[in-house]
Structure 1
């Protein structure tokens, strides 16, 4: 699921019950809400009743989008038109003019509890043929006729602890990061997955807790993934592909009851990130240092990208380099490193890395080496640490086995402390580069 609710430009509707063979139609979200409102409401109802119902209809639909309720279950649609499960939608129907005007005003506003992020699962029914715990559509008419405002009507059904919020509009996106997550990966997607597994483990104690939740896919994370996969009858390979990702999403929805009126809910604290989603001017730290490393490396082969100092401070020079890179790949040069800019940086770096065979250069892999990693890059790292141990007695020689064990991790921690790097015990691309250069310098001085 996305971090924050948003209004998708389009929504895909299944014209039947979830498991029925039926057509899927993709329509603009605005037109979808106009259709639902025209299918469920009477245009002659008081305006405040219509407004209250439209708020509920938008919130209901956004809850389905935000939780990826159907997508996480393997369906290829966002919502159905079956009123037994969702909202009425009649493909191709005429839209009431006054309803369309109200929807045009309200389609990006939704209901939420004050302390929670997710859109309220605004359950409702017609109130005559069907009774429910949520809003009564016919009941809203009586309340509107009594002079209640839309907000007052809504609080009669959903309680006083109710916010009306506005969401931005953007293209529909799926939460799956696009490629499997595995040992050594470091990203926001890994951190999101770690947080969700930790919450799920409260209900399924066989899943070990992941600590720290830091966006690095280490051996502890792999163990938690395997335990989850075993419980939910997935191949226990420790790799988070689409099936595992969306099963985690589905179970996370269930344990928090996100698609229920009495949801436990997602708080701001739940989505606070160790890794910033966007890097921008004024930020400091390892993510900025890693960005600067990639920019610096790419800039050695592209004259239009100015040099940047690798100091972990996102200042004017870094912003200028980011803008130059963005222009070079056809992105909006806003100087902010979001997912599109970051992915293009990695792609450009990987292209250079694949084309350069100069033995004097150190081209780190783009993944992070962590406890449990096994690769030729780990062997390179261990060989460098062994060279450094000849100069730094604090660094112990390690067998160059290609397996990142406790001995290797301890040496990395020692090196990071000696060189003023954040002592994480993990080797991201920049740390890999610094260790390689330091080892090369030792060999040159011999």
Structure 2
């Protein structure tokens, strides 16, 4: 799984004032933002190595705010403020010093981290004359540069020897972690795993939140119970559904308990970052994501002739998958890249749900055969579970090759045992969770068994 390492955002949203005061927000290219901060805070007569050390601190500070969604997790619609009381000095329409422009152009995509951690260092600093602090002294860095210290030596002098510079980070769009839709029982994806990781860490400080033992990508009843308790503790609507408000409240508390916006933070380890999410899937990728993608596109393309019909092609992202994705993206006004990113995935999920909701009358007799759009797991109840159990009951009655089930609308132990038996039969990991590919297999087996 890919590690969610920080990227250099192509843009940053700056609030022109303290966070709690009404002021305009402006969107600025990230590189121009750093040039502005450097020209607002530093002197062009300083040694170049002092300026470089300060710029690296400024970049790292801003990236920490963005990566941890510090302000957005508190409900604000910006990434950083222009107030040095809270963040860094930013002056609208300022003229940049030539040396600042040159240095920023060279190193704007480099930043500081602590060894073994992923998030950019919260590189606090102050001028060192009027204000002192635990981090870098800007005037002190000038003295160190004049004594011959390099930028990294200056930074280690203030931030300790356990730091390093990440060089040439990629420049990409700043994508928020909220997946764009309420996350609920039956959803799946690495954003669910991220959610579980954060809730479990918060639970160390708030023991009333039950620990989620299952670390899979599935939003289970166990996850829902933890979400409900979190919402109860923090005075949110207790729904068990992670809407945007709950998502960012969880993010805010996670940042707080790990002190991710402190100079001496607990940090996000590489192992934790690996739990977050793959950003996109593309030609040649494999796995359960692709099985889900292919199934959804198969159904969508069957009823929408503007999208090339996609046969169910297993768990490989083939050229046929790519062709269907491009056609889908064109139809829904998305960049026609053939790459399934968060926006495309959300649109496909929505289109699948809309397809089921508007299925032609002549196909209604088959409606129970379509995957309901939610991953089904132990503890879930309702009509979708009854449909599943009916298929399982048919298989059991006619083949006796799987454990029996009760058709009671509850995904209980018997249902889970039956599902795991089928998964072992097809050499799949026995998770006990029913996704699109397994649903399709169960439906086809039940239909053939009843003939």
Are residues 167 and 368 of structure 1, via their aligned partners in 2, closer, same or farther at CA, if it must alter by over 3 Å? Answer: same
CA deviation profile, 1:200-256 (whole Å, cap 9, x unmatched): 222222222212211111111111112222222222221111121111111111121
Question: How far is the alpha carbon of 1:42 from its aligned partner?
Answer: 0.9
Q: Hey, what's the Cα distance between the residues in 2 that align with 1:33 and 1:186? A: 38
TM-score normalised by structure 1 residue count:
0.90
CA deviation profile, 1:346-372 (whole Å, cap 9, x unmatched): 344334333434224622122111223
Higher mean alpha-carbon deviation, 314-323 vs 399-408, is at 314-323
| Paired position in structure 1 for 2:194 | 192
Secondary structure in 1 matching 2:87? coil
Q: Hey, what's the Cα distance between the residues in 1 that align with 2:186 and 2:146? A: 62
Question: How far is the alpha carbon of 1:82 from its aligned partner?
Answer: 2.2
| Paired position in structure 1 for 2:86 | 85
Q: Hey, what's the Cα distance between the residues in 1 that align with 2:34 and 2:316? A: 45
Higher mean alpha-carbon deviation, 191-200 vs 406-415, is at 406-415
Higher mean alpha-carbon deviation, 419-428 vs 72-81, is at 419-428
How many pairs are equivalent? 443
Secondary structure in 1 matching 2:12? strand
Are residues 25 and 326 of structure 1, via their aligned partners in 2, closer, same or farther at CA, if it must alter by over 3 Å? Answer: closer
Answer whether contact 1:215 1:274 (CA < 8 A) is retained: no
Which residue of 413, 435, 441 corresponds with 2:442? 435
Answer whether contact 1:386 1:396 (CA < 8 A) is retained: no
Question: How far is the alpha carbon of 1:330 from its aligned partner?
Answer: 6.3
The yes-or-no answer on 1:230 pairing with 2:262 is no
The yes-or-no answer on 1:31 pairing with 2:32 is yes
Higher mean alpha-carbon deviation, 64-73 vs 96-105, is at 96-105
The yes-or-no answer on 1:338 pairing with 2:341 is yes
Q: Hey, what's the Cα distance between the residues in 1 that align with 2:355 and 2:85? A: 55
Q: Hey, what's the Cα distance between the residues in 1 that align with 2:23 and 2:349? A: 41
Are residues 243 and 31 of structure 1, via their aligned partners in 2, closer, same or farther at CA, if it must alter by over 3 Å? Answer: same
Q: Hey, what's the Cα distance between the residues in 2 that align with 1:132 and 1:430? A: 57
| Paired position in structure 2 for 1:244 | 246
Question: How far is the alpha carbon of 1:261 from its aligned partner?
Answer: 1.1
| Paired position in structure 1 for 2:114 | 113
CA deviation profile, 1:185-205 (whole Å, cap 9, x unmatched): 112211110111112222222
Secondary structure in 2 matching 1:26? strand
Q: Hey, what's the Cα distance between the residues in 1 that align with 2:193 and 2:173? A: 23
CA deviation profile, 1:25-69 (whole Å, cap 9, x unmatched): 332222221121111111111111111111111111111111111
| Paired position in structure 1 for 2:293 | 291
Secondary structure in 1 matching 2:112? strand
Answer whether contact 1:183 1:372 (CA < 8 A) is retained: no
Long gaps (5+) in structure 2: none
Q: Hey, what's the Cα distance between the residues in 2 that align with 1:31 and 1:198? A: 38
Answer whether contact 2:37 2:90 (CA < 8 A) is retained: yes
Question: How far is the alpha carbon of 1:309 from its aligned partner?
Answer: 4.9
Secondary structure in 1 matching 2:205? coil
Higher mean alpha-carbon deviation, 241-250 vs 342-351, is at 342-351
Q: Hey, what's the Cα distance between the residues in 2 that align with 1:126 and 1:200? A: 35
Question: How far is the alpha carbon of 1:328 from its aligned partner?
Answer: 6.2
| Paired position in structure 1 for 2:13 | 12
Q: Hey, what's the Cα distance between the residues in 1 that align with 2:136 and 2:24? A: 29
Q: Hey, what's the Cα distance between the residues in 2 that align with 1:45 and 1:55? A: 15
Secondary structure in 2 matching 1:291? helix
Answer whether contact 1:295 1:345 (CA < 8 A) is retained: yes
CA deviation profile, 1:329-348 (whole Å, cap 9, x unmatched): 66666554332343343344
Q: Hey, what's the Cα distance between the residues in 2 that align with 1:164 and 1:241? A: 36
Q: Hey, what's the Cα distance between the residues in 2 that align with 1:438 and 1:225? A: 36
Answer whether contact 1:369 1:378 (CA < 8 A) is retained: yes
Question: How far is the alpha carbon of 1:326 from its aligned partner?
Answer: 5.2
Q: Hey, what's the Cα distance between the residues in 2 that align with 1:113 and 1:226? A: 35
Q: Hey, what's the Cα distance between the residues in 2 that align with 1:331 and 1:136? A: 46
Are residues 38 and 240 of structure 1, via their aligned partners in 2, closer, same or farther at CA, if it must alter by over 3 Å? Answer: same
| Paired position in structure 2 for 1:426 | 433
TM-score normalised by structure 2 residue count:
0.90
